[in-house]
Amino acid sequence: MLPLRPQDDPGVRPRRPPATERQQQRRPRRLRRPVQDLISSRAPPSPRREERIRMANRYPQEAAVRDGRRVLLKPFTGSDVDALYAFFQRLPEDTRRFAWDRIDDRGLIESWGRQIDYGKVFPLLAWDGTRVVADASLHRRDGGPLRLVGRIKWLIDPDFRGVGLGTLLVNHFITLARHEGLRHLTCMLISDLEADAVHTLEGLGFQSYKIPRYGTDPDGQPHDMTKMVLEL
């Protein structure tokens, strides 16, 4: 007579297989996908800052000034060095002397073309055909207490002054700054030489703060400066 196996003996309770064996007997579990794969499949990655800047105002963009002429607005690129330098050379001597940068130095303009970072400096050019007629830029910091403050500056061809081109450019930067989450825009102007620009920004809601003898011209003479601030 053969001995009873445990499962044939009514008095013996069958032994449960170990936990690992029970897991192997179950239906195989579906392998989890990596978290990064799930993220990338459910939503597109966040665009880089320079791409967000382009999204705020679609460029190139055509715009009209008050006298009916039309200009094309688009960000400065490395291929625009020649046209931008030619624009600077057409500016009056006094304008070039008081410019914030050494715009007579072609090497400096070439370095701008090699070191473009739209997240730090967003340079916007206005074109009349093949000529640059305005150069404007929005500057911001990566960190620190002023990281949500943007600084703007611009230069305009004398043939396009007084027709609203400066207002058009500043309004573009206001839209862009709000899209980027900035809280303030600022601009520093020479009080006497740039009185028209002070008036233009005041008309757009900027507050003006005059600082006596804050600036110095190339000859070493002091000038009052006006700081313009817009709360966004």
Confidence at residue 19, expressed as pLDDT on a 0 to 100 scale: 54
**Under 8 Å between Cβ of 125 and 84:** yes
User: Residue 220 and residue 94: Cα distance in Å, rounded?
Assistant: 15
Distances (CA, A) of 199 to 65, 100, 133, 167: 18, 20, 21, 11
Confidence at residue 9, expressed as pLDDT on a 0 to 100 scale: 52
Which position has the higher pLDDT, 49 or 100?
100
Distances (CA, A) of 110 to 81, 89, 175: 6, 15, 29
Instruction: Assess whether pLDDT exceeds 70 at residue 48.
Output: no
Q: What mean pLDDT comes out for the span 28-52?
A: 44
Q: For domain 49-183+199-206, which CATH number applies: 3.40.50.300, 3.40.640.10, 3.40.630.30, 3.40.50.10880?
A: 3.40.630.30
Whole-prediction pTM value?
0.74
Tokens of 91: 């500016």
Tokens of 54: 């382009």
Model confidence at 5, pLDDT cuts 50, 70, 90, reads: low
CB-based contacts of 117, cutoff 8 Å, min separation 6: 50
